[in-house]
C-alpha cells in the first residue's frame, strides 16, 4: 500500500513549563509522515519549505523511508514559522508568532509518481489547498482523511465545508467538533458533522482519549494517564499519522481495524509528548511501540463476567 501526506513542514519555537526551544523542526506534515512511517513503508509527502530548511532533516525523513519528491524547496524564500507558549495546564497555549512565508502561496503539486497513492492524509492546512490535492489525483484513494482547526472555521468556513464534504474521515479535537457543529454534546456534534460528508469521524480528547464514530457504532478509546506532558506540540498530527500509517499498512477499513488504528495513533501520540518537537519520533524501536500498545490494552481491560443480580 502507500500513503500520501499533505501538510506543513515547518519551524516551531516552543515554550512549556519544562523548557524552551530555539527554532526546531515541526509542522503537521512532518509529524504525520514520521509517525506513519513506523507502519507503512511506502510514504510520500507533499509540502513546501524555504531554502533555510536544514538538509539534515530531509535526510532524516528519507532515512525513515519518506519520499520527498513532493516537498518543494523554494529558493530565496523562508520556511513557515510558528512560535507558541503553553500554559501550566498544557491544555491551552498562546500563539506568539505566525509567519506563513512559503505557505502563503503554496501550490500543492502532485508528482506523477504519487498518483497511485492508495491512502491520503490531509494535515491541517488551508482547506483550498487540501481540496486542490484531491482534485489533482487522477484516481480517488481508498480513504481520504483530513484534519483542520478552528482558525479555518473562523476565516474560511465555506471552503472548509466544501473540503469536508469531499473526504471519508475527519480527525479533529473536541473543541473543534463543538465549534464546527455548534453543538456541545459530542454525540449530537458527531451526527451533524457526519451529515456534512465524512462517513467516519474521530474526535480527539487529549488526555481523555478519543471517540471513533463509524456507522451506528462508537468506540471510546483510552488515553494513557501520563506522569507529565513535556511538549504537546504535534501530538494530534502524530495521532493522525499513526492512525493512517496503520490503516495504509493493513488496508482494512473494518470497524475492528479502525479501532486498532486509533490505539496505534494514541500510542504514537503518547511518545510524541515525551520530548520537544519530533525528537521522540525519529528513532523509536518496534519493541517500544509494542510495549506501549500493551499498556493501552492493560489499562482499558475489564471483564464483566458476572451478571447483574
Residues lying near its own copies in the complex (CB under 8 A) are found at 38-39, 88-90, 184-188, 190, 205, 207-209, 211, 217-229, 249-250, 256, 259-260, 262-264, 286, 289-290, 293, 296-304, 306-309
Give CA separation, 166 vs 94, 122, 140, in Å: 32, 11, 10
Residue 178: CB minimum distance to its own copies, A: 9
CB of 292 to its own copies, least distance (A): 9
* N-terminal to C-terminal alpha carbon distance within the chain: 50
Distance of CA 299 to the CA centre of its chain: 24
In terms of CB distance, is 78 or 260 closer to its own copies?
260
CB–CB of 116/2 below 8 Å? yes
158 or 225, CB closer to its own copies? Answer: 225
Q: Which is nearer to its own copies, 69 or 208 (CB)?
A: 208
Question: Shortest gap between Cβ of 90 and its own copies (angstroms)?
Answer: 8
Decide: 159 and 131 in contact? Cβ < 8 Å: yes
User: What is the gyration radius of the CA atoms in the chain, in angstroms?
Assistant: 18
The residue among 32 and 223 lying less far from its own copies, judged by its C-beta, is 223
* Closer residue to its own copies, CB minimum distance, 107 or 256: 256
How many C-beta atoms surround the C-beta of residue 193 within 10 A?
A: 22
Strand intervals (E) in 198-298: 200-204, 210-214, 217-221
Separation CA 229–CA 18 (nearest Å): 9
Residue 224 Cβ vs its own copies, minimum distance, rounded to whole Å? 8
Phi, psi of 4 (to 5 degrees): -105, 120
Cβ-based nearer residue to its own copies, 169 or 190: 190
C-alpha cell at 55: 538538509
- In the complex, the smallest distance separating the C-beta of residue 139 from its own copies, rounded to whole angstroms, is 26
Nearer CB in complex with its own copies: 45/177: 177
Considering the complex, what minimum distance in angstroms separates the CB of residue 188 from its own copies?
6
Pick between residue 135 and residue 286 the one whose CB is nearest to its own copies.
Answer: 286
CA dist 212 and 214 (Å) reads 7
**Rounded to an integer, what distance in angstroms lies between the CA atom of residue 50 and that of residue 167?**
29
Pairing of strands 169-173, 200-204: parallel
Nearest-approach distance from CB 302 to its own copies, in angstroms: 4
Q: From start to end of the chain, where are the E strands?
A: 3-6, 10-16, 19-20, 24-26, 43-50, 66-67, 71-74, 81-86, 93-99, 119-122, 143-147, 169-173, 200-204, 210-214, 217-221
Output the smallest distance, CB 244 to its own copies, in A.
14
Amino acid at each position: 500500500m502507500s500513503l500520501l501526506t499533505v501538510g506543513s513542514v515547518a519551524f516551531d519555537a516552543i515554550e512549556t513549563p519544562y523548557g524552551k526551544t530555539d527554532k526546531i523542526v515541526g509542522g503537521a506534515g512532518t509529524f504525520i509522515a514520521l509517525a506513519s512511517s513506523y507502519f507503512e513503508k511506502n510514504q510520500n509527502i507533499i509540502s513546501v519549505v524555504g531554502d533555510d530548511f536544514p538538509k539534515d532533516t530531509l535526510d532524516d525523513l528519507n532515512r525513515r523511508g519518506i519520499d520527498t519528491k513532493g516537498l518543494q524547496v523554494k529558493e530565496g524564500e523562508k520556511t513557515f514559522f510558528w512560535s507558541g507558549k503553553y500554559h501550566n495546564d498544557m491544555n491551552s497555549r498562546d500563539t506568539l508568532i505566525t509567519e506563513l512565508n512559503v505557505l502563503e502561496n503554496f501550490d500543492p503539486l502532485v508528482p506523477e509518481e504519487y498518483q497511485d497513492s492508495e491512502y491520503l492524509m490531509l494535515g491541517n492546512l488551508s482547506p483550498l489547498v487540501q481540496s486542490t490535492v484531491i482534485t489533482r489525483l487522477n484516481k480517488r484513494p481508498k480513504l481520504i482523511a483530513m484534519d483542520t482547526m478552528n482558525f479555518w472555521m473562523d476565516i474560511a468556513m465555506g471552503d472548509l465545508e466544501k473540503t469536508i464534504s469531499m473526504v471519508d474521515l475527519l480527525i479533529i479535537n473536541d473543541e473543534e467538533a463543538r465549534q464546527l457543529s455548534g453543538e456541545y454534546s459530542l454525540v449530537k456534534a458527531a451526527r451533524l458533522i457526519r451529515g456534512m460528508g465524512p462517513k467516519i469521524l474521530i474526535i480527539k480528547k487529549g488526555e481523555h482519549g478519543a471517540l471513533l464514530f463509524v456507522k451506528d457504532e462508537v468506540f471510546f478509546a483510552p488515553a494513557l494517564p501520563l506522569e507529565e506532558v513535556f511538549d504537546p506540540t504535534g501530538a494530534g498530527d502524530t495521532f493522525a499519522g499513526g492512525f493512517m500509517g496503520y490503516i495504509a499498512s493493513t488496508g482494512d477499513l473494518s470497524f475492528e481495524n479502525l479501532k486498532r488504528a486509533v490505539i496505534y495513533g494514541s500510542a504514537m501520540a503518547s511518545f510524541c509528548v515525551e520530548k520537544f518537537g519530533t525528537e521522540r519520533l525519529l528513532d523509536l524501536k518496534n519493541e517500544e511501540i509494542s510495549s506501549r500498545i500493551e499498556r493501552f490494552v492493560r489499562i482499558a481491560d475489564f471483564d464483566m463476567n458476572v451478571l447483574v443480580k
